[in-house]
Amino acid sequence: MSSHELIKICLKEQKLRYYRESVCQHTYLISSAERGAGEMKESEQTPRGNHYIRAKIGAGRPVNAVFNGRRFTGEVFSEKLKQKFPERDWILSRILWLCGREVGKNRLGNVDSMQRYIYIHGTPDSEPMGIPKSHGCIRMRNRNIIELFELVSIGCAVEISEH
């Protein structure tokens, strides 16, 4: 883990801040869970607490690359594709897969963020930012997740809090 970098996510502000050497380098608008904060499996809520980036998925894929089960489907998101599959929860461009650090809060058992497939990921540009609309993950604009993906290391600490 790099102690020189940190991501702080504030659910109230709907913002993600990236720090390097304790200095905020970037601030991004995000969209967290529509159902608010919570750690339980199948709650569709965003887990709080200390996490880290367990895996970076999607390097070199095109902007708007579509992922299903953390695998590139070969598709690139478009309005036409959205109309064809209106019920899909689109995971686009890049994935930062989170793992909880706090046993009983966001790690192991019914509260395991990694087993819940909690990611920071891209979403269609038509989706709103700055308001909670996701199914538990942290959604970002595609250009922003690609930028963040290039900056962060596997093991980067991620703190998710309500305030």
The ranges assigned to domains in the chain are: 5-161
Dist. CA 6–CA 115, nearest whole Å? 22
**Which pLDDT belongs to residue 3?**
62
In the predicted model, residues of the chain with pLDDT beneath 70 are 1-3
**Which pLDDT belongs to residue 149?**
98
pTM: 0.96
DSSP per-residue codes, 96-161 = EEEEE-SBTTTBSGGG-TTTTT-EEEE--TTS-SSS--BSSSEEE-HHHHHHHHHH--TT-EEEEE
**Which pLDDT belongs to residue 1?**
45
**Which pLDDT belongs to residue 52?**
98
Q: Which residues contact 94 (CB under 8 A, 6 or more apart)?
A: 56, 57, 58, 59, 61, 121, 122, 145, 146, 148, 149
The CATH code for residues 5-161 is: 2.40.440.10
Torsion of CA 23, 156, 97, 56, to 10 degrees: 100
Tell me, rounded to whole angstroms, the distance of Cα 53 from its chain centroid.
10
